[in-house]
Structure 1
C-alpha cells in the first residue's frame, strides 16, 4: 500500500472521478440497464430490480436483470403498479440468478406494488423512515427494510409468514444486522446522487451527504489499498468508515467516487500513480 498525503489522495480520487464518471463507462456497470428507460418511474423500478440482482459477475448480472425486465414488459413501473400475483408471477419462471429464483422476483414485485400503493411512490414509502437530522442513511434504510418485509406475502406463503430463508430476504439486507447492504446502498446512490451523467438524482428529498458507499469486492479491495480503511471484512462498519474518510474530500457528496473506484476493479486497472 502506497502511503499518500491528504492532497495526494484527493488529487487521485478527483482524477479517477473525472476519468470514469462519464456515460461511455455505463456499459461496464449494471447502472447502464435502467439508463435505457426514459421515464423516471421506469428508471426507478428498473434500478431496484437491477440493483437487487447486482451480485456475481457483470455479465451474469446484466443477463439476469435483462431477463427479469423483459418479463415486465415495456414499462416496469406500470407492471409493478398493476401487479397481480396470480396473473403475473409465472412471467418470471425462467429467471434464475445464482440462488434467487423467479418466485423471489415475483414476490419482490408484489412488495414493491404494496409499497407504492400505500405511499404513492417508492420514494414516499422510503421517506417515512427518513429524517434529515440523522447522521447518515442507516436509520432510514433499517426502517425501509423492516417495513418492506412486513408487507403481505400470503399469495406466496399461505400462512402469511415469510420464512427466515426466503430468497426475497436477500434483496433486503439490513444495517441493523451489520450488513454492508451493498445492493440497497447502490440503489440509493443511483436514485439520490445528482450533478453528473451517471446517477439519476430522482429522489430529491434525500441528501447525497447522507449516503453510505456501496461496498462490493472491487471497492473493498481498492479502498484498503488506498488506506481509506483498515477493516478487512466488508460490512456496515467498513462502509461507514470508508464513507467518513471520503466525506473529508467532499462532505456534500462522499459517494461520488464509488462509480470510478468500482471501474478500476471491473476493468482490472491499477491504481494510477500521479507522482
Structure 2
C-alpha cells in the first residue's frame, strides 16, 4: 500500500481568532496604492474605460505566470501591439490583424494563443455586449447547476470556437480538473472587491464574500506555516480548505488575506515566532 501523505498541523478556531489581528494588520500594510506599481493589476488602472479595464485585466491575469517584472513587461508589450486600445482592437479584430501578434511569446503563450483568445473575447462581446455580462451568465449557470463558477466559465469560454487548437485551452484553468485557478481568481479579486486602494472593483455579478483566494506557491507556503492549510498539494482541494479558514476570519471578504499571505511570501514580511505552527515547509 502507498504511504499516506502526512498533513500539516492546522489551527483551532480559538487560535484562528488570535491570528486574525496579525493578518488584518498585514493586509492594511500591504494593500496600499504603491502595490499597484509592481503588480499586473496596474493594467486595469491604466485605463478609464471599463471595457478596456476588463479586457486588459483579463490578459494581465491570464499571463501572470512567473516573475512579476517579466509578466508586467510582456503585458505591456501585448497592449502596445493592440495600440493601447484593447476593447477596440478586440471588437474589430480580423484575420488580417494576426500580424500584430507576430513573434510574441511569454512562457508557453504563442501568437496562435493570443489570436484565439482574442477571437473568443470578440465573440463574447458580440453576443453579450460586455465581458461582465458573460461572467454573470456563467455565475447564474453555476448556481443553477451547483458547480464552481470558474468551471462553468472555462466550459462556456471554449464553446464559441470549437475549431480552436487544444493547446490554447491550457491557458484558462478549470477547478474540475483540480486546478487552483489562481490566475482567474486573481482577476476576480481585482474586479469584484470594493473600496480597495488596489483592486478596481468594477464588476458586481457576485459579492466579495463569494471570492476564493488566488493560491500560488508563495501563498500556500505561508498558509502552511501559519496553520491555515494542511494539504501539501497546491490544488483546488487546498483552495477550498484554505478558503474555509479565511471565511471564518472574514466571511464578507476572505480574499483580502491574499495580500497578507502574498506579502509574507514575496515582499519579505516576517512571521512572529508565536504564529509559526509548521516550521518544516518546503
Both structures adopt the same fold (TM-score exceeding 0.5): yes
Cα distance in 2 between the residues matched to 1:27 and 1:138: 35
* Cα drift, residue 123 of structure 1: 1.1
Conserved 8 A contact 2:135-2:205: no
SS in structure 1 opposite 2:180? coil
Aligned to 1:245: 245
* Cα drift, residue 70 of structure 1: 0.9
Conserved 8 A contact 1:127-1:140: no
Residues 65-214 of structure 1 aligned to structure 2 (within 5 Å): 65-84=75-94, 86-131=95-140, 134=143, 139-152=148-161, 160=163, 162-164=164-166, 166=167, 168-214=168-214
Distance 1:243 1:190, change over 3 A: same
SS in structure 2 opposite 1:195? coil
Greater RCO, CA 8 A, separation 6+: 2
TM-score (norm 2): 0.87
Cα offsets for 1:35-80 (capped at 9, x unmatched): 2222221111110000010011112111111111111112211111
Aligned to 1:224: 224
Matched, 1:30 2:40: yes
**5+ residue gaps in structure 2?**
1-8, 276-282
SS in structure 2 opposite 1:116? helix
Conserved 8 A contact 1:129-1:144: yes
SS in structure 2 opposite 1:213? coil
Q: 1:44 aligns with which of 33, 44, 54?
A: 54
Q: What is the RMSD computed on CA atoms of the aligned residues? A: 2.3
The aligned length equals: 264
Cα distance in 2 between the residues matched to 1:101 and 1:128: 29
- With 11-20 and 68-77 compared, the bigger mean Cα shift is at 68-77
Aligned to 1:157: none
Conserved 8 A contact 2:10-2:229: no
TM-score (norm 1): 0.89
Cα distance in 1 between the residues matched to 2:138 and 2:209: 17
Cα distance in 2 between the residues matched to 1:254 and 1:131: 21
Cα offsets for 1:192-216 (capped at 9, x unmatched): 1112111111111211111111111
